[in-house]
Structure 1
């Protein structure tokens, strides 16, 4: 039996319960408070010299103190950090658990289980980001699954403190490169956006049974794949696929925040629509973040269509470079676009298999004067003129969302109408309240932000947040 060692004349180290390249985790007894704790013994880099070892130790102490600021039910709490036997020891909450990495040795998880796991992780990581704390090493090995189904994230900042990324570059550490965001793999500083990517890579691994970058015996080869952002598309992620693709976007600015990710996961768990402009159809009815009530929409549709055409004809000669109208004007303009009036799609915008638009949608109105009017006109096409709606998405939007007309039309046919209100504009950025009415009944409302671009005199939706 392992001989009990005493640390700081207070902690009795009972048995090792985990460990890895950075050190050993002990189950220990805090004699002062009479409770079980976890004590992480951090190993300093070998052969780095006394100066480098001191730097790593000081970083570890600093990062542990920063992590101690976070107290959350889904994060392992750091109680303190001590410097003894010429190395740092971190005193943490003890959770009887197995790691997600250990669980995945049994095989991949089901989508619903991964959604529940992701919600718990996101809630802790979003709180950390609000406190200015970046984890930097989200991976299955740092996700603990408690005996009571509680999920907790651990090891905030410790990988950076111990020089994990630098060690990986020399091939001394395996595993971690598989969850690095591309920008971090290229040597940039880790941010909350890179945490989002690493979370996506972790959820991907739980679903697919392998990492987004695949496998490689040589860590340098894996690091190269990470730096280039080469992702193997997921095949088992079902309704999580659209969100997963956004989390794993190679561009940090295009990823959702951790709070947005949590909201979308909760919407999926509740069977509600997520905040995507258009994606693949869910397996069951969803009501949620983006949606709302508009009982008079269909009744006023014909009159609204005539009104918007008149307004657009009147303003056709106005310069598109003028300042946007105030919010009150934009808000009043939005309801006048509730009937499909946008032009039909160009042949290059729709797959060859798409049937041509019906004659009722062949007359193209003048281009919208402002981005806000263009956004309202786009949603007025749903679901009556999906060909024109699909043509209103930019090529960049379709590529980044892996969007096809079939997926687009399957998604939108579950709704009977969508309207736009409370529109505000800042250049080509538009924020609006979206109200969705499901064909099966029920409504939901949400506030969304879009960026539009101009092409051939028309506004196209280029991104959504």
Structure 2
């Protein structure tokens, strides 16, 4: 039976419901003044919590809707206005003939390339929102709309917070689902840009893996507990998205990329470029330090050049200082790895013996700066792999190298089969660090393990002393 058409604010005819959930009903409506179709979201106020709580929720909804109206973007549902009528808020929005990502995923998970294309559109809108100072707070498949023409749009900015969604009520019940919450939000902290990034990662994880990062639970409080821990099974179907997805889902907010950086990396992946370990543009607060570092590096380089010129000038008449001719034995080539040596496995990062790696004039042989904590040092080590193996080798203690009894050549030969390693879910207990390692093979596959390391401090920085 057709819903009876209702008139709102003597302007909007509510034609039919086209969606809804715990927070309210979305109507397809007709705007008589502008003669266009719009979407009208009728928000349901909380029941059984008193008139004061209902008024607070209504006022928050009105405020959040007005904030969301500041954002106009081709991949975000535009908010045209908000009305307070029949003692509840109504949000007037752009109408998009569409289905939600949540509905689409009932058919099964999506292909990696399709998820990348979808994510680029989402990121472009969310990055614009963050630049405008707007935190979405409820990124999930149900709030991602897939238009009939292939357009992807995000909706419901700020509404979950306004209506008290995913909050424990006075009776211990939960309104909404915590399945896409960042760990810090699940623990009761305020939502931030970084928590939006996590929720985007959780949404992409669900689209690829066919299930939410925290799994399912009949008891929503149990699900909230899982969310607060941040423990997530590593993705297995995400292919080239694995390194970026792992960073989006990092339990530490400061370790996640910004939404702008995420969009940039997604576009590079879509173009077939490798972005896993490319340094990103520093945030504004870090640029001053970067500039100072550049100046210092320039001065050091100038001093080195001056020293080289002096040496060459003094020694140009001395035959003993002449450079060896091309092809002479002075130009050493790395020996081919012996087939008799067993191949290392990802669970045992292959440090060599106490011998030093071959000398190199490349700046890539310089070890990374000291990390503040053992966990940060471990993450810094794997960020070097496989692009800077000499610096990675220098992060291993002699004790570790002796225990493995391996050469630098063997170490290098092992890592040539891998494109990247990502570190997630890091936990520290003194100098013992446990982390989830995801190895991305050069062939495209991935392997994952949970490993524990003992770190020691030498010369002001942490080195890897053993692994189990």
TM-score range, shorter chain: 0.5 to 0.7
In the TM superposition, residue 361 of structure 1 has moved relative to its aligned partner by 2.4
Check 1:70–1:164 CA distance in 2 against 1; reply closer, same or farther (3 A cut).
same
Distance across 1 between alignment mates of 2:202 and 2:353: 40
Structure number with larger C-alpha Rg = 2
What's the offset of the Cα at 1:383? Answer: 7.3
Structure 1 counterpart of 2:267:
266
Q: Is the 8 A contact 2:112 2:208 kept in 1?
A: yes
Q: CA deviation at 1:351?
A: 5.9
Q: Distance in 2 between the 1:116 and 1:180 partners?
A: 23
Alignment TM-score, normalising by the size of structure 1: 0.68
Query: What SS does the aligned partner of 1:206 have?
Result: helix
1:170-189 equivalences in 2 (<5 Å) = 170-174=172-176, 176-189=177-190
**Whole-angstrom distance in 2 between the partners of 1:407 and 1:120:** 38
In structure 2, relative to structure 1, the CA distance for the partners of 1:148 and 1:360 (3 Å cut) is: same
> Compared with structure 1, are the counterparts of its residues 351 and 237 closer, same or farther at alpha carbon in structure 2 (3 Å cutoff)?
closer
CA distance in 1, matches of 2:224, 2:47: 22
Matched residue, 2:245: 244
Displacement of 1:232 in angstroms is: 1.3
Q: Cα distance 1:359–1:228, how it changes in 2: closer, same or farther (>3 A)? A: closer
Corresponding position of 2:459: 457
Query: How far apart in 2 are the matches of 1:173 and 1:331?
Result: 59
- Per the alignment, residue 398 of structure 1 pairs with none
Change (3 A) 1:405 1:123: farther
Superposition TM-score, scaled by structure 2 size? 0.68
Please name the residue that 2:299 is paired with.
329
- Does residue 390 (structure 1) correspond to residue 392 (structure 2)? The answer is yes
Is 2:212 the partner of 1:211?
yes
Q: Offset at 1:166?
A: 1.7
3-state SS, counterpart of residue 141 of structure 1: helix
Match of 1:361 among 333, 344, 357: 357
Instruction: State how far apart, in whole Å, the 2-side matches of 1:41 and 1:409 are.
Output: 57
After superposition, what is the alpha-carbon deviation per residue over 1:401-455, rounded to whole angstroms, capped at 9, x for unaligned? xxx9898533469xxxxxxxxxxxxxxxxxxxxxxxxxxxxxxxxxxxxxxx994
C-alpha change, 1:155 and 1:457, in structure 2 (3 Å) is same
Within the alignment, does 1:410 sit opposite 2:412 as a pair? no
Distance in 1 (CA, whole Å) between partners of 2:385 and 2:189 is: 42
Return the alpha-carbon distance in structure 1 between the equivalents of residues 387 and 39 of structure 2: 60
TM-superposed CA distance for 1:332, in Å, is 4.7
**Partners of 2:355 and 2:125 in 1: how far apart?**
53
1:120 aligns with 2:117: no
Q: Could you tell me whether the CA contact under 8 Å between 1:107 and 1:209 is conserved in 2?
A: yes
Cα separation, 2, equivalents of 1:358 and 1:93: 66
- May I ask how many residue pairs the two structures share in their alignment? 356
Counterpart Cα distance in 1 of 2:82 and 2:89: 7
Is this contact kept in 1: 2:166–2:174, CA < 8 A?
Answer: no
Name the SS for the 1:231 alignment partner: coil
Q: Report the alpha carbon displacement of residue 177 of structure 1 after superposing the two structures with TM.
A: 0.2
Ranges in structure 1 where 5+ consecutive residues have no aligned partner: 278-287, 291-322, 342-348, 373-377, 396-403, 414-452
1:199 matched residue in structure 2: 200
In structure 2, what is the equivalent of residue 71 of structure 1?
A: 72
Give the drift of 1:230. Answer: 1.5
Matches within 5 A, 1:441-456: 455-456=457-458
SS at match of 2:19: strand
Provide structure 2 residue ranges, at least 5 long, that are not aligned to the other structure: 282-292, 308-331, 335-344, 371-380, 398-410, 421-454
1:267-294 CA-partner distances (Å, limit 9, x unpaired):
11101010516xxxxxxxxxx989xxxx
Could you tell me which residue of structure 2 aligns to residue 301 of structure 1? none
- The Cα shift of 1:173 comes to 2.9
Cα distance in 2 between the residues matched to 1:406 and 1:45: 62
Mapping 1:39-438, distance limit 5 Å: 39-167=40-168, 170-174=172-176, 176-276=177-277, 326-330=296-300, 332=302, 352=348, 354=350, 356=352, 361=357, 371=369, 386=389, 388-392=390-394, 408-411=415-418
How large is the RMSD of aligned CA atoms in angstroms? Answer: 4.0
Give CA deviations for 1:224-267 in whole Å, capped at 9, x if unaligned: 00011111111101111111110000010000000000011111
Q: 1:340 Cα shift?
A: 12
Summarize the Cα distance change of 1:241–1:328 in structure 2 as closer, same or farther, 3 Å threshold. same
